[in-house]
Amino acid sequence: MVSYDPAWLDRMYNNRARVPGHPAYLERWAADSASLRASLPCSVDVRYGDEPGETLDVFPAPVADAPVLVFVHGGYWRSLDKSDHSFIARAFNDRGVCVVVPNYALCPGTPERPVGIADIALQMVRALEWTWRNVASHGGDPSRITVTGHSAGGHLAAMLLACDWKAVAPDLPAQLVRNALSISGLYDLRPLQHAPFIADAIRLSDADALRLSPALWPAPTRGRLYTVAGGEESEEFIRHNTLIREVWGPKVVPVCEVLPGLDHFGVVDALADPGQRLHGLAAQLVDA
């Protein structure tokens, strides 16, 4: 059994402690997102399921039959909201992309409705199924869905690429998710079982950590995954970034990069900036 030092886990995984300026990022994201929703055509709080948190926002493309980008937010499965991340949509809308931003219930939920990472993963499956079935009415092409996610969302994006969609519903295409981009993703959840700042919220059992870790799964047989992390992130986040390529192989993960000068929050800004390498990588996948 691996023994983890709590102080080391906090240094490696507690990004809010690691980036003292994180409140400024979060405040700006929320303000920019509210401004964007007021200025761009969008459908907000569309239900993709009946459970709490099962809503999404759609930012239709200005052209018909547009490629679709689904962005899954981070927050260690326990915080943040789709409304904090609408700002992602503007630069992709300008490229003629339909953007979908789903919400999910947050860990640990309530005593009446507990929420675990497995529940969130299934919610994202339902959100992607909704997208495939309904995005054409918002100008999107359901055969061209790319998923990107940040941090916990990066973990979920990798899971969605590897999902067995035929097991979800027989009429779904086997490759419902065409490609995925994982930003600062987490692929082996076993260390997080023991991280003091997060363990009580996510409540991962040994069995959960094994079955919910994409690095412990066989490589997907379809699609490509690009993985990136910021150069200012912890050694563990950079290790995770490399790990998934080592396990799934360079054919499935042809791009695995560390982007200089970016911390765990600044890397999200880079996704939304057309002048940044990360935005260009996302565009490659969307246009493929």
Q: Consecutive 10-residue runs of the chain (288 residues): their mean pLDDT?
A: 82 96 97 97 97 94 94 97 97 97 97 96 98 97 98 98 97 97 98 95 96 97 97 98 98 98 98 98 96
CA angle 21, 276, 263 (to 5 degrees): 25
The pLDDT of residue 1 is 45
Q: CATH number of 6-287: 3.40.50.1820, 3.20.20.140, 3.90.120.10, 3.40.50.720?
A: 3.40.50.1820
SS3 7: helix
Instruction: Residue 284: count other Cβ atoms within 10 Å of its Cβ.
Output: 15
What's phi and psi for 183, nearest 5 deg?
A: -105, 115
The rounded distance, in Å, linking the Cα atoms of 57 and 245 is 31
The rounded distance, in Å, linking the Cα atoms of 20 and 147 is 29
151 and 72 Cβ atoms separated by less than 8 Å: no
The pLDDT of residue 86 is 98
Length of the chain: 288
- With a threshold of 0.85, does the pTM exceed it? yes
Domain residue ranges in the chain: 6-287
The secondary structure of the chain in percent helix, strand, coil, rounded to multiples of 5, reads 45, 20, 40
The pLDDT of residue 242 is 98
Residues 6+ apart with CB under 8 A from 287: 67
The pLDDT of residue 63 is 87
Instruction: Residue 1: count other Cβ atoms within 10 Å of its Cβ.
Output: 4
